[in-house]
Structure 1
Amino acid sequence: MKVSIITVVYNRAATIERAILSVLGQSYNNIEYIIVDGASKDGTVDIIHQYKDRVHAVVSEKDNGMYDALNKGIRMASGDVVGILHADDEFSNDLVIEKIAERFRANTEVEAVYGDVGFVRNGEDDKIVRYYSSAIFKTKLFTWGFMPAHPTFFCYRRFFEEFGYYRTDMQIAADFDLLLRFLRKHKLYALYIPEMLVKMNMGGKSTNGLSSTLRINKEIKQILKDHQLPSNYLRLYARYFVKVWEFGKKKK
């Protein structure tokens, strides 16, 4: 089973090498790694080229944002299963992809998998400051703004062709829309892996202060409306009580 991993990046010279090494260091030996760069100007491309012999495909050109770049990478992929690793993030250990592939191989009914995310601050990769567990997730919780940890989501590539790619009219919440479509609308059989699969840097698009909080909830509300699902801002903001509790959780 070939697993394609997509990293999209723009001006992340400080973190891209860590992400690349995280993929190249995986124990699983049937990985296709694709990097889509948005024409970075800060030295990111120079770092990527240091590993060009071990990366299967590199594209560096202007795009229409992160989700456009992700769609581009997925369309280039030839793997049976597709997942992403953002340029600020890293897999929690070298066995992650092996464990994910094993879940697909062990049960032919499994169509997607996801796990947990640990949040870290830049320069403190070993200190988990917030732990997001996907264990509580049920599809009915989409109407409250909850979803499984998107950076840990892997599914068969064919589902992107069948059910559609990421929306490019959203700045932050297109991952919410995609997971809602795949898991609730199309009812993919997803298996939860009860452990941290990805370390995610604080300060990304979805966690970068008040402006990103307002934006993501506005987009989620619009997505729910587009899918004719009930929701309101009271519900969406209520989930932040859970987020506060996550800061006290420990890494599993």
Structure 2
Amino acid sequence: MKISIITASWNSENSIADTQRSLAMQDYPRDQIEWIVVDGASTDRTIERIKAGSFQPDKFVSEQDSGIYDALNKGVRMATGDVVGFLHADDFFASPEALNRISCAFEYAGTNAVYADLQYVRPLATGEFGVVRHWKSGDFCREKLQWGWMPPHPTLYLKREVYEQVQLACGEYFDTSFSCAADYDFMMRIFGTYGVEPAYLPMVLVKMRIGGVSNRSFRHIVAKSREDWCAIRRNSVGHIHTLIWKNVGKLNQFIPRR
């Protein structure tokens, strides 16, 4: 099973090496991995860092774009794998068996979608990463969508034909009119409107450095909530309680795990 991994980057010189290294460590056949890097015309040493790594992109583009969702749309259009997923420049796989486990989940579950758990982490002085937030997804149930449930988008892997089936009228996959909630809108569309039945892989698949666009400040959190509400209404997945529980449900993710 060929897996396309799309990495969106912009001025990511301090983190892209971890992303690249986690790909190089995968115990999955190299010829079955398609790494696509969509860079937004970085002005720092991001491109230099990528070129210095042992694991090189199969497809690479660096040009001005209209934001991360424009980059994701480009990456999906470039993908030729049986399965498509994302590993952004602030993210890295939690273990070398990540892609192998994804492939097995698709094979044995007979599904078009697989998702897993995610951890938000911060660098420590020791050179390791400390866990700030543990996002345990749990099993899928369509009714959960009305209570704000969603899987972590960086852990969601889809058969490529799913993208072809759920294109917007404009021909894109992610609605670029959103600045920080197009992934939520996309997932509500595939799980709600199109009825895709995903399989849950109970493991931490991806670790994400804290500081993403949607959670870096109170102002961004407010903007994210407004866009989430727009996505909820557009996809008819619930009402105001959906937005409330989408945020309240995150609180237990900050409880330290042993």
- TM superposition score category, shorter chain reference: over 0.9
RMSD of aligned residue pairs (Cα, Å): 1.8
TM, length-normalised to structure 2: 0.90
Matched, 1:33 2:35: yes
Distance 1:52 1:249 in 2: 35
Q: Any residues of structure 2 matched to 1:66-85 within 5 Å, and which? A: 66-85=68-87
Matched, 1:248 2:255: yes
Distance 1:228 1:89 in 2: 31
| Superposition deviation, residue 129 in structure 1 | 1.8
Q: Which amino acid aligns with 1:2?
A: K
How big is each residue's C-alpha offset from its partner over 1:198-248, in whole Å with a ceiling of 9 and x where there is no partner?
11111111221211211111001111222234322x542344333222111
User: How has the CA–CA distance of structure 1 residues 211 and 138 changed in structure 2, closer, same or farther, with 3 Å as cutoff?
Assistant: farther
Matched, 1:147 2:150: yes
Percentage identity across aligned positions?
A: 36
| Superposition deviation, residue 139 in structure 1 | 2.6
Matched, 1:212 2:214: no
Q: Which runs of 4+ in 1 moved over 4 A?
A: none
| Superposition deviation, residue 68 in structure 1 | 0.6
Q: Could you tell me which residue of structure 2 aligns to residue 189 of structure 1? A: 197
Query: Do the aligned partners of 1:117 and 1:131 also contact (CA within 8 Å) in 2?
Result: yes
Q: Structure 2 unaligned runs (5+)?
A: 168-172
Q: Structure 1 unaligned runs (5+)?
A: none
Query: Do the aligned partners of 2:140 and 2:198 also contact (CA within 8 Å) in 1?
Result: no
User: How has the CA–CA distance of structure 1 residues 52 and 94 changed in structure 2, closer, same or farther, with 3 Å as cutoff?
Assistant: closer
Which is worse superposed, 136-145 or 208-217?
136-145
Q: Could you tell me which residue of structure 1 aligns to residue 136 of structure 2? A: 133
Query: Do the aligned partners of 1:52 and 1:58 also contact (CA within 8 Å) in 2?
Result: no
| Superposition deviation, residue 189 in structure 1 | 2.1
Query: Do the aligned partners of 2:139 and 2:200 also contact (CA within 8 Å) in 1?
Result: no
User: How has the CA–CA distance of structure 1 residues 249 and 194 changed in structure 2, closer, same or farther, with 3 Å as cutoff?
Assistant: farther
Q: Which amino acid aligns with 1:201?
A: R
| Superposition deviation, residue 60 in structure 1 | 0.3
